[in-house]
Amino acid sequence: MKLYLHAISSYRSDKEDIVLKKELKSRYKVDIRRKDDFIFAGLLGALRLKEQTDISKESALYLTSGYGNINILAKMNKYIVEDKESIKLFDFINMLGNTTSFYVAQELGIKAKSIFQISDNFTYFNTLISIYASLRQTNKEVVCGVIDLASENDEVLQRVAAVEQNTPLVSSVVFSQLSLEEKGALCKLEFDTKFYTYEEIKEVISKSSQKLYLSQRCKELEGEKSSFYIETDASYLINKAIQEQEDYLYVECYEQRYKLLKITA
């Protein structure tokens, strides 16, 4: 399966010293009331993408995240379990993934379908597969937003993600415009539905001429890995590949099953 990326925007917390809601209010004149940081992150990525390209109202919107709005879930736990209080209405509304989709679609002027999806593993890969299937039916463009916020409590996310406690956590937002049209594309993404074994993935790597980049979960493989943790770091690697004009082979792993993403810039 192949998708072509025609525009991209990004935000990473270790590269920009900004307050999301202040940036949205001052630069984009966004109404920040009744929203939280997860929604702010989605809006920032979307509006930065809108600055890069024209977005059709008929585009589909796909939003995904490694763990979703984990900060608001922690807040819900404090309300209910620790303080024995009722949930505040807008916190409950913002906890729903479709709330973020609604606000993002509204800012982009999108009138077509809007989907928020999270998988228990291989989230970004599953989203790309869904987008490919959608485009095969409609042959229109898709806006894909990947939102991963570091938890306000590092230990919580480190435990959930099963990474070392001293691993730095980074917030990352990447929005992209995708289609099946090759002409004018910034890069090509190739992927499939197959789960690879360790032996199979080693063979693919040995035959590849692309630069290898591994998820931190690839414990048994040797190669370049990030020194920090982003759940869906494949999405940010695409941005890196475009900036460097470098082809990459990205490998992800969960429970000794592997997946591949080929990025041709």
User: Residue 66, Cβ neighbours under 10 Å: how many?
Assistant: 24
Which residue has tokens 């490919």?
A: 132
Grouped pLDDT means (10 residues each) for the chain, 265 residues? 98 94 96 91 97 96 86 64 66 71 95 91 95 93 93 61 71 96 97 97 96 92 88 91 97 95 97
Strand partners, 254: 257
| Cα–Cα distance measured from residue 39 to residue 103, given in angstroms and rounded to the nearest whole number | 8
**Residues 35 and 216: beta-carbon distance below 8 Å:** no
Could you tell me the CA-to-CA distances from 69 to 36, 118, 126 in Å, in that order? Answer: 9, 11, 19
By C-alpha distance, which of 119, 120, 252, 117 is closest to 192? 252
**Residues 175 and 145: beta-carbon distance below 8 Å:** yes
| Cα–Cα distance measured from residue 37 to residue 21, given in angstroms and rounded to the nearest whole number | 7
For residue 158, the model assigns a pLDDT of 58
For residue 157, the model assigns a pLDDT of 61
Paired tokens of 7? 């525009």
Paired tokens of 15? 């590269």
Which residue has tokens 């695409």?
A: 238
For residue 22, the model assigns a pLDDT of 96
For residue 230, the model assigns a pLDDT of 82
Helix (H) or strand (E) holding 243: helix 233-244
Q: Which structural domains are found in the chain, ordered by start? A: 2-184 (3.40.47.10), 188-264 (no CATH)
* Burial of 240 per CB tally in 10 Å (0-12, 13-18, 19+): middle
Sign of CA dihedral 209, 173, 134, 260: positive
10: three-class secondary structure by DSSP: strand
Pinpoint the alpha helices (H) of 78-224: 89-95, 97-108, 123-138, 154-161, 198-207
